[in-house]
Homo-oligomer: A and B are copies of this chain.
Amino acid sequence: MKRDPYANNLQVRPDGTLRHFLSIEGLDQALLTRVLDTAESFDAASQKNVRKLPLLRGKTVLNLFFEPSTRTRTTFDLAARRLSADVVNLDINASSAVKGESLLDTLRTLEAMRSDLFVIRHPQAGAAEFFARHVPEGVAVLNAGDGRHAHPTQAMLDLFTIRRHRPDLENLVVVIVGDVAHSRVARSQIQVLNLFGVRQVRVVGPATLIPSGVEQMGVHLYSSLDDAMVDADVVIGLRLQKERMRGPLLTSSEEYYQRYGITAKRLTLARPECLVMHPGPMNRGIEIDSEVADGPQSTVLEQVRNGLAVRMAIMALTMGAGPGLATESGQ
């Protein structure tokens, strides 16, 4: 899995602890398991109505969103506050981008203000890594989505959600449906599911929305969703990123729904308790039927909830503040 050896150095400290969180690639199962376990402990605290933990008291988190987002930004914001950090949100559009400052100068300027943790979403692949290469020791960078490259916190919260229901990851067949070509979520999901040794990851979608050579990512390509659903334990619908598509990749929403929509009928082809997942926001009636989205097998809202705990865990660990960290040995 380590085609990207430098990433390992960038994301992990010599003592094996997490320094940045940029992509699944370059991280190993032991470290990511620690993320999941830390998230479990935060979620347990939250269930007991412990709403604020003092782990990041006095730390400053900068949320840098170069793309708009309600959901993801709010989750990072809330996660940081529950760790008692100060949070500054920056939507970089109407501000320094207006004045034409380079990304590196923006970064250096913000860094000079002595922030401890940057959360960055950016339309260009590699933006978070670029930041990580330029911040000093002690400052962490979290990738909240960079172009089509990666969205690793989403993949981790998906894995967290699956593991809760099905700790026997090695037995699972997971189906990913939809616009894989434009999805940073799918890329990160495929990586993490393979790293954790799920039995099979299947990918299905319109030929124009499946990247060529996708099998080299360690997935099985299907052309029919009905076929892919057979024996599935988990089905993940991807958001149809309309705004990312150029030209006539799709004929119509209706046709998409006919062929790739996750419907109640299709769900009967899968294993009885097959989980239905979606990173949101959902296009109901296109990627997924409302009956399924709101049904008992859907984990859509649970994913959002888990996103908080997982992001808290990643923030705490990169800041060297995870609970129980002292008693755990390095990677």
Q: Which residues of A contact B (CB under 8 A)?
A: 46, 51-52, 57-60, 62, 68-71, 73-75, 77-78, 81, 86, 88, 90-92, 94-96, 98-102, 105-106, 108-115, 243, 280-284, 301-302, 304-305, 307-308
Contacts and interface: CB of A to CB of B under 8 A. Distances in A.
Contact of A304 (B70, B73, B109, B304): B109
A287 to B, nearest CB: 12
Given A78-B60, A281-B100, A284-B102, A112 B69 contact: no
A43 to B, nearest CB: 10
B105 A280 contact: yes
A75 to B, nearest CB: 6
Contact of A52 (B58, B91, B108): B58
Given A78-B86, A100-B283, 12 more contacts: A51-B60, A52-B57, A60-B78, A69-B95, A71-B109, A74-B110, A74-B113, A91-B94, A99-B243, A106-B281, A112-B301, A112-B302
B113 A281 contact: no
B86 A81 contact: yes
Given A98-B68, A109-B301, A281-B105, A90 B74 contact: yes
A112 B58 contact: no
Most chain B beta carbons < 10 A, residue from A77, A110, A113: A113
Closest 4 CB pairs of A and B: A101-B281, A51-B58, A112-B304, A70-B95
A189 to B, nearest CB: 19
Q: Which of A62, A77, A114 has most B Cβ within 10 Å?
A: A114
11 contacts: A52-B57, A52-B58, A60-B78, A70-B90, A74-B88, A78-B115, A96-B281, A100-B283, A102-B284, A105-B280, A112-B302
Contacts of A88: 74, 77-78, 81
A112 B78 CA distance: 12
A62 B304 CA distance: 16
Contacts of A57: 52
A301 B114 CA distance: 11
A114 to B, nearest CB: 7
Nearest to A64: B70
A68 B51 contact: no
Given A74-B88, A78-B60, A280 B109 contact: yes
Nearest to A110: B74
Nearest to A308: B113
For A90, A101, A109, the residue with the greatest tally of chain B CB atoms inside 10 Å of its CB is A109
Contacts of A112: 301-302, 304-305
A284 B103 CA distance: 12
